[in-house]
Amino acid sequence: MRPEDARLRGESFNEVLDGIGTVKFGVDFFNQYCALLRGLRIRGDIVANVQGGTLQELYWKIQRSHARRVIFGMEQNLEANNYDFPDGSAYKKKITQWIDSVERRFPGIITVIDAAPVWKAASKSSSWNNFLKTMPGDEARVYLWDKDMFSTGDNQSANLATINLSFSQTIPQWLYQFSKTFPGKKASVWQWGLKPKSSIYNTMIGCIYIGKFYKFMIDYNKSYGNFISYASYMSLKSLDRGEGGFKNRDATNMAAALKSCGMLFRGNPQVDDLSISGFNGLSGVALEQNRKYTLLLINESGIEASVSAVNINGYKVQGVYRITSLSASTLDSDAVSYETTSGTALRLKPYSVNVVEF
């Protein structure tokens, strides 16, 4: 809790800290989350309170959310958590017992240990991860923040090249290092996203970044046996923390990009081999279920793309295309158009992220 949170509730922050005040909670986020899970008919992914919580509390959360995955803490390697976990050895000792208890009580549940960033080799992070190497658990946590992968400036073409480099080199190198640090464990990306203080936040190039992240995850898992087991974009509300002086920053375009890319995962599609011809500067992935196709196509050029042929698994396919598109006149524009069109011609607007169904 922050002082401003207490003020909004009409409480004394100092009294709450001293343990003599009463915290009046407003929205019950956990039960809202459980209600959402029930509405979507899916199982939950939860974070265990590994400091002040208890195993009985965790059992209740697992049952309440019908959890399929438990992440045992977030960023416990940071200095702020030294009292409970001064090093990886302390974390390993406690959490190994918790994982064993959870797996006995809930057979088949996925357990995730809280690894430090693998790319911080000469730091406490490396020491922390060395202790965690022999821990039980199905997955280890990794986070992929824009601020750790690249810096942006005023030149949007240079920004786009830098973003492309992060997907072609930086992330693959980190995941390779991760696989060597935690052999036998899959990667659980909790979390990824764009910080509101980023110069590309809520712009067209920010939308392209989100589209490229989805494309990378699909391509990488196709090549490496679903090595990335889970990936969660940090909620837009949680990201709005006032960092860099940005507070209540408009996130409409970020939400639209996430919603559009989320259309790729309706049902349980398979990933196909995609080849597109007729235009340079266009990339994408293809998914198929019951002979119905969904394409994610990203046009990172300033010219409309007219696709002359779509080949999936070596065969030319076509149909009536339903195109959900985000586009703008320039990469740095926040005037992003969000629309859906249909037709037999596959034309993609300049600087656009497109989900094509047919």
109-145: pLDDT as tens digits: 999 999 999 987 668 899 999 999 999 999 999 989 8
- Strand 69-72 relative to strand 45-47: parallel, antiparallel, unpaired? parallel
To the nearest 10 degrees (0 to 180), the angle between helices 124-132 and 88-105 is 40
| Contact (Cβ atoms closer than 8 angstroms) between residue 185 and residue 177 | no
The pLDDT value given to residue 24: 54
What is the fold, at CATH topology level, of the domain defined by 270-357? Immunoglobulin-like (2.60.40)
3-state helix, strand, coil split of the chain in percent (to 5) is: 40, 25, 40
Q: 274 in the Ramachandran plot: left (φ > 0), alpha (ψ -120 to 50) or beta?
A: beta
* 63 band by pLDDT with thresholds 50, 70 and 90: very high
What φ, ψ does residue 195 adopt, rounded to 5°? -75, 140
Tens-place pLDDT, residues 211-258: 999 999 999 999 999 999 999 998 776 666 556 555 667 889 999 999
Per-residue pLDDT at 154 exceeds 60: yes
Q: Is the pLDDT of residue 21 over 80?
A: no
Task: Tell whether the torsion through CA atoms of 170, 172, 177 and 178 is positive or negative.
Answer: positive
pTM, full prediction: 0.88
